[in-house]
Amino acid sequence: MTPSPKTAPDASRRSERSRRAILDAALELVGETGYQRLTIEAIAARAGVGKQTIYRWWPSKAAVLLDAFAALGEEAAAGETELPDTGDLEADLKLVLRTTVDELNSPRFDAAYRALAAESIVNPEVCAHFVERILEPQLRLYAQRLARAQQAGHIRPDIDPRTALELLTGPLTHRWLLRTLPLTHEYADAVVELTLRGLAHG
C-alpha cells in the first residue's frame, strides 16, 4: 500500500514528501475528529495534496491510517526490530515497558491511537486489520524475547510465551485506555516485577 515510484529521483523525493504529509495529516486529523468523521478529503486538504493522490496509493481511510500507525511504530522503534537482550530479562522488560508508557502518554500518539482503538473495539473489520498490521507484530517481539529468556533458563519451561506476554502488555493498555490510574514508569516496573515473580507466597 506504500508508493513504489519507478520514476526519476526528484519525482521520487516529491512522492515521499507527499506520502509523509498524508500520513502525518491522517494521524493529526483522526486524533482531532475521531475515526467516524475522518475523510479522505480532509486528509488531502491538511496534507496539501489532491484527493486523487491519496486514492492512487490507498483504497480507503482505514488503509491510510494503518500505514500511518505502522510508520509511527517504526519511528518509535528507531530501526530496532527486536526487544533489547542484555541477558538481564527484568531490566530489558522494564526499559521496554517504560518506553511504551512514554509513547502512550505522548500527545502525538495518544489521540490518534485512542481513535483507532475505539473504532477497533466496535468495528471487527478495522480491528482485524489493526491487530494483524500493528498490534501482533509488536506482541511477537515480546514472545520472541520471552522465548529467548526461556532458552536461557530465566523463564519456566512450561510457559507459553504468547500467553505470558499479555500479563506485561494487558495491564498497561488497560490502564491507558480506561484511565483508571496514572500510567507511570513506577507502574511499568511494578508490572514487570509482579509478572516475573508472581503474587503467590513461597
Query: What minimum distance in Å lies between the beta carbon of 14 and its own copies?
Result: 35
In degrees, to the nearest 5, what angle opens at C-alpha 15 toward C-alphas 10 and 16?
100
* DSSP designation for 153: T
For its own copies, the closer CB: 49 or 68: 68
For its own copies, the closer CB: 2 or 163: 163
Query: What minimum distance in Å lies between the beta carbon of 18 and its own copies?
Result: 29
CA-to-CA distance for 152 and 154, rounded, in angstroms? 6
For its own copies, the closer CB: 19 or 175: 175
SS3 category, 166: helix
CA nearest 112: which of 70, 140, 60, 154?
70
Instruction: Work out whether the CA dihedral 30, 21, 131, 87 comes out positive or negative.
Output: negative
Query: What minimum distance in Å lies between the beta carbon of 67 and its own copies?
Result: 19
Query: What minimum distance in Å lies between the beta carbon of 164 and its own copies?
Result: 5
For its own copies, the closer CB: 22 or 115: 115
CA nearest 198: which of 151, 155, 157, 169?
155
**Interface contacts to its own copies, rule CB under 8 A:** 34, 36, 89, 114-115, 117-122, 124, 127-128, 130-131, 135-136, 139, 146, 153-157, 159-160, 162-164, 166-167, 169-175, 177-181, 187, 190-191, 194-201
